[in-house]
Structure formats: C-alpha cells, structure tokens
Amino acid sequence: MQVVEKSAEGLSRTLAVTIPAAELNEKLEARIKEVAPQVKLKGFRPGKVPVSHVRKTFGREFMGEIVNASINESSQKALDDAKLRPAAPAEMKLTSDMDKVVAGQEDLAYEMSLEVMPHFEPVDPKTLKLDRPTYSASDEDLDEALKELAGQAKSYEDKKGKAVKAAEGDQLTIDFVGKIDGEAFEGGSAEDADLVIGSGRFIPGFEEQLKGAKVGEEKVVNVTFPEDYQAKHLAGKAAAFDVTVKAIKAEAESVVDDAFATRLGLESLDKLKELMRQNLDQQFAGAARFKLKRALLDQLDEKHAFDLPPKMVEAEFQGIWQQVEADKAAGRLPEEDTKKSDDDLKAEYKKIAERRVRLGLVLAEIGRANNVQITEQELNAAVMQEARNYPGQERQVLDFYRQNPNAAAQLRAPIYEEKVVDLIVGQAAVTDTPISKEELLKEEEEA
C-alpha cells in the first residue's frame, strides 16, 4: 500500500492511497483456494471443482468483497500511520477504474478527504481557580414553599351567608346543556360539573355570566365559540347553554398543619417541612452547580485558542439555526432578537456554535487524558430516566434505545461532559462563596 499526502491546509487533509493489483490478486487467489474445497457446482463432485472454474464463476464477486474490505482496512491504516484523528468520517473518492480493478487489471486507487482534530495542549485543571456559589434554604424560603404548596392544594367549602351569590374565585357545581340553533350538540352537556369562576376553563364569556348566580338558579349563558376552537364544527358558532347552579363554594383557607400534611400522605407537619427543605436545598444546589459549570466553561473558553474543524462548526450551527427558525415561526424568539436581521443573528449564533465546538473538544481532550469512561450502568440509568419522561410508553422508549445504538450513544455525551466537569472541579482550586438567593436564581443567557 502506498499513501501520499496530496494536500494539508489548516485542519483539512487529502490522502491518496494506492493498493497494487498484485496484492489484490494475491488475496483473491487465497480466497479461491480457501473456498474451493467447499464449493458445490452442478457437474462436479463436492470439493472437486477446479480452481480455474471457481475463479471464473466467483472471481468477480470475491474481488468486489476484497476491494471493499481493502478500502476499509487501508483507510484506517493510513490514518493510524499518519497519526491523524478524523473530526468526522472521511469523504472517499475512487480514482481508478473499478471495472478494471475488479477484473484484476488495475491498481486500486482512491483519495480520502477529511478534517482532522486540532492538536492543542489542554489547560491543567489544577491551575484553575473557581468560585462555587452556595446558598442554603432559609426558614422564609420554607414558609414560602409551604404557602405555595398549600395554594396548589386548594379546597373549597360551601359558601355561607343569607343571600349567597357566585363571585370571582368561587367554585360552582353546575348542570348544563349547550344548544346551537335550538338543538343540543354532542359534547355540550354535563351534570355535576365543577367550575371555578376566573379559571378560564370554559369558553370565553361563560364564567363571567355566572357571577351573581344563586344556588338553584337556572340561567341561559350565551357565548360564541372561538374561531380557532379545536372542534372545527363548533368554531365561530354562537351557542346558548341552559345552566342550573347546584352548589356554590368558596375557597377554604389552607392551614399548613399536621392535618394538611396527613392529607398529603405524610405523618406530620415536621416530616413535610423536612422533605420540603431537602427539596429546596436540592434545587439551590442545582442552580449553584449550573453557575459553577458556567464559570468553568467561561475559563476554559478563554484559555484555549485553536483552529476548529469547519464541518463540526457548521453542523453545530445548523442545529442551532434550525431551532432559531422554529422559534421565529412560533413567535418564541427573544424580543431583542426579533429586531435583528438574519445576517446579524447568524453571526451571533455562529460564535455560539464555535464556542460549543471548542469547549466540546477541550472537555473531550481533558477526559481522554484522564481516561474518563462511561459505564454501561450509567448509560442504562440514562436510558431509564429517558423512559420515565414518557409515562405509559416506557417499554417503547427502552426498545427504541436498544434497537438504535446511535441514539443510545447520544445519551453518552451529556453524561461524559458532566463527569469531565466533576473531574476538573475536583482538581481545581474551588472557593465556596455564599451569595443571595436572588443572585443564585438570576437567569443568564445560554451559550
């Protein structure tokens, strides 16, 4: 095999590989001799087919297999010998006449065009200095969380008074029959339906017309279905609902006590507080971890400058830009981005793509130097966690990842990144710095 480097510009390389026809023919002869004793052909006794006949019958097929195997083997050997680490699969271009190659009349020649991984010396984690923000849940945080929990677990009790009337926030129990042009329509009726005035659960205008209603009162509520209503046969149509108010309840004041904890399945208020504090501390620890990691990535980005594989950057940018276009179509772009031209946005997101690729390469190199590995147990745990994100479809998700190794491999990347971050933090000089909750939870732009 002969390998010639035809071009080397930046991170781009083009290698010309040639495998002599004599070498291919030698492999073909060996292959024919290997299989000839097992060949069975009509007119010949088993194992007695002449080698020349085997060559005539199967030679072209065997040579095609040998050529494919030779390309795979030689391309990898060429990379190994040149000590090149591809940033992406190489593009292969045959430069010989394949018909003549397969016929054993011409050398096999092809070119490999690829981008290689940049060579750089990653920073020594021991030289890094990091501030780790710290914050522990206060009693005020706990009280606020308990109050929010109580608000989510609303309860209602019969409204009391001489002349009870429905008001904003009250829960009504109603029967109703919806009609269009005097005819009841499918799905427009219900009995003992609970409705909180102001919740926005019903058609616009429905709840407001029940304000002031009394228990036992019968009312006709006139509304118009929205033009974008999900039931197309009702969209934009006027409807009248015959409503009977059967009960009116007011929101009961939620008292956070042992009885409240018991309703949530816990033995006491103290146990609820213990679990809530643990949950808050976990949330704050996660936010602190995010800020520490962001500070670490900023340092790594500042301390490394090297050429990036253009195709890696382009692939990362395209992924980002597809999301930007989807957000733009859905009206989800940040307000500051809506005022910018596509060219300006592309320039900004191209820099983000470059940062992500640079940091990915740095983390990968530090991980490689420290032999960071992902265990099967860790990968399986990630697959199980992914499955739990789809209640009722866990089996299908597990089967998908078992049957698609590439999809499972994508789960490795975030696990690997977190393990490398842990390794760096473990070796760096880290100072714990108390900060306020406001500082801790302040959102930062993602990059």
- Report the predicted TM-score, pTM, of the whole model to 2 decimal places: 0.70
Indicate whether 438 pLDDT > 80: yes
CA atoms within 13 A on the CB side of 299: 19
Are 191 and 311 within one domain? no
Q: Are residues 221 and 269 in the same domain?
A: no
423 found inside a domain: yes
Which of 174, 305, 178 lies closest to 247 in space, CA to CA? Answer: 174
Q: What is the pLDDT of residue 124?
A: 96
- Is residue 247 domain-shared with residue 388, that is, in the same domain? no
| CATH number of the domain to which 283 belongs | 1.10.3120.10
Q: Is residue 47 over pLDDT 80?
A: no
- Number of folded domains that form the chain: 3
Asked whether residue 70 is assigned to any structural domain, the reply reads yes
- 220-247, pLDDT tens digit by residue? 999 999 998 888 889 999 999 999 999 9
Decide if 241 is inside a domain: yes
Q: Is 110 helix (H, G, I), strand (E, B) or coil?
A: strand
Q: Which residues contact 292 (CB under 8 A, 6 or more apart)?
A: 130, 131, 132, 133, 425, 430
Rounded average pLDDT over 29-47 = 80
Judgement on whether residues 298 and 426 belong to the same structural domain of the protein: yes
Residue linked to tokens 């276009």 = 325
User: In which domain, by residue range, is 58 found?
Assistant: 2-115
pLDDT of residue 360: 94
Last residue of one domain, picked from the residues 190, 220, 251: 251
Tallying the residues shown for the chain, one arrives at 447
The whole-number pLDDT of residue 444 equals 59
Q: For 281-309, how does the pLDDT look when each residue is reduced to its tens digit (9 = 90+)?
A: 999 999 999 999 999 999 999 999 999 99
CATH of the domain at 208: 3.10.50.40
Boundary of a domain, candidates 115, 146, 173: 115
The answer on 423 and 279 residing in a single domain is yes
At 365-390, the pLDDT tens digits run 999 999 999 999 999 999 999 999 99
Closest CA to 36 of 21, 65, 61, 57: 57
The residue ranges of DSSP E strands in 156-259, in sequence order, are 156-158, 171-180, 183-196, 218-224, 238-251
CATH number at residue 7: 3.30.70.1050
What pairs with residue 111 in β-bridges? 16, 93
Residue written as tokens 């427009």? 188
pLDDT at 446 over 60: no
The mean predicted confidence, pLDDT, of the chain is 91
Spatial distance between the Cα atoms of 216 and 172, rounded to a whole number of angstroms: 11
Considering the chain, what percentage of its residues have pLDDT values greater than 70? Answer: 99
Q: Residues 130, 296: contact at Cβ < 8 Å?
A: yes
Short-list 217, 239, 221, CA closest to 166: 217
181 and 100 together in one domain: no
